[in-house]
């Protein structure tokens, strides 16, 4: 079976736009923690949090109280019974210490818990780097593009990774899409998305933004990418096909072909008119694959 594969690639004469924003140590941001109340247990029964963090007690099953032990000064929820039909018990802890509590309804079954509150450490921001596309390469001017970045956090986890078109010191101009890290252990993030149709040859600044579980944000290097032409392939007969190179604002390009993605031969070098170019070629007879690419020239 004959297979015809087309793609485009942008040669470059432009350079990396700006370097990464410098990292800094950020104050810890308050976090919300969940304790689930099962039939006779709190889960987790022993929870360590930072000063300023909030705890929400959610009902898994049964009905329970969240009552502080004698001598405990931090807020809990008294003798109110929670069965899931009312808003949950919520408490924010404002000082360091160990704060014990229990369920009055299940005290005979030793249903107790403790919140250990420690001083909040400084939060180290995450690190993030773009992997694909690389600087000065091309992305499709229409249809689907794939963006990949790596990100990690030394004192927590990455909760979301955002890919962004356009950047200034005061504003992010166009979010392409967000990858939410629901697993928590991810370090490689890939977004496959359809972008708006871009004018061929347009230079675009691209970066990634990582956010950790305490709200600290970091940005990758900002790179330049270019909107490249997308080849529209049509099979005329069983042995002849043609594809359309769209108009490229009178930009010069080279059309090339290869059977192995290593050795490329030029088929056409010219400046595309406002109507684009329709190129016709015989289908391969001795090779299973034939690849095509368009390289825009300076």
By mean pLDDT, which of 61-75, 154-168, 280-294 is the weakest?
280-294
Q: Is 191 exposed, middle or buried (0-12, 13-18, 19+ CB in 10 A)?
A: middle
- Enumerate the β-bridge partners of residue 161: 179, 210
pLDDT surpasses 60 at 105? yes
CB atoms near residue 90 (< 10 Å): 13
Query: For residue 259, what are its two tokens?
Result: 């059977």
pLDDT of residue 68: 92
pLDDT interval class at 285 (50, 70, 90):
low
Which residue, 172, 168, 179, is CA-closest to 146? 179
pLDDT tens digit string along 45-78? 999 998 889 999 999 999 999 999 988 877 789 9
- What is the SS3 string spanning 157-220? CEEEEEEEEEEECCEEEEEEEEEECCCCCCCEEEEEEECCCCCCCCEEEEEEEEEECCCCEEEC
Q: Is 71 left (phi over 0), alpha (psi -120 to 50) or beta?
A: left
CB atoms near residue 241 (< 10 Å): 20
pLDDT of residue 193: 85
Residue with tokens 């050795």, as numbered in its chain:
263
pLDDT interval class at 31 (50, 70, 90):
confident
Question: Which domains does the chain carry?
Answer: 3-9+229-296 (2.60.40), 15-26+123-227 (2.60.40.10), 32-118 (2.60.40.420)
Strand, coil or helix: 106: helix
* Phi and psi angles of residue 90, each rounded to the nearest 5 degrees, phi first: -130, 130
pLDDT surpasses 50 at 274? yes
pLDDT tens digit string along 231-260? 666 666 666 666 666 655 556 677 788 888
pLDDT of residue 238: 62
pLDDT of residue 3: 42
CA-to-CA distance for 160 and 182, rounded, in angstroms?
A: 9
pLDDT tens digit string along 198-225? 777 788 889 999 998 888 889 999 999 8
pLDDT of residue 234: 67
Q: How many residues does the chain have?
A: 298
Sign (positive or negative) of CA dihedral 26, 27, 30, 34: positive
By mean pLDDT, which of 27-41, 61-75, 266-280 is the weakest?
266-280
| Range 129-146 average pLDDT | 87
């Amino acid at each position: 079976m004959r297979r015809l594969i087309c793609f485009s690639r942008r040669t470059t004469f432009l350079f990396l736009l700006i370097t990464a924003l410098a990292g800094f140590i950020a104050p810890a941001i308050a976090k919300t923690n969940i304790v689930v109340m099962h039939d006779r247990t709190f889960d987790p029964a022993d929870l360590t949090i930072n000063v300023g963090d909030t705890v929400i007690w959610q009902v898994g099953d049964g009905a329970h109280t969240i009552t502080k032990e004698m001598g405990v000064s931090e807020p809990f929820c008294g003798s109110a019974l929670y069965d899931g039909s009312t808003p949950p018990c919520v408490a924010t802890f404002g000082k360091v210490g160990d704060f014990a509590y229990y369920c009055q309804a299940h005290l005979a079954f030793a249903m107790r818990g403790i919140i250990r509150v420690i001083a909040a450490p400084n939060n180290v921001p995450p690190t993030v780097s773009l992997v694909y596309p690389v600087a000065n390469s091309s992305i499709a001017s229409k249809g689907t593009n794939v963006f990949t970045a790596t990100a990690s956090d030394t004192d927590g986890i990455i909760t979301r990774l955002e890919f962004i078109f356009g950047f200034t010191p005061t504003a992010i101009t166009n979010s392409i899409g967000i990858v939410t890290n629901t697993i928590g252990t991810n370090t490689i993030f890939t977004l496959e998305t359809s972008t708006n149709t871009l004018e061929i040859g347009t230079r675009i600044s691209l970066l990634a933004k990582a956010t950790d579980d305490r709200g600290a944000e970091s940005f990758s290097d900002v790179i330049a990418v270019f909107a490249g032409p997308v080849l529209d392939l049509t099979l005329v007969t069983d042995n002849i096909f043609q594809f359309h190179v769209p108009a490229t604002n009178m930009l010069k390009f080279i059309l090339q072909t290869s059977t192995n993605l290593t050795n490329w031969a030029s088929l056409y070098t010219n400046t595309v008119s406002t109507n684009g170019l329709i190129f016709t070629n015989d289908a391969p007879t001795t090779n299973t694959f034939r690849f095509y690419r368009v390289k825009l020239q300076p």
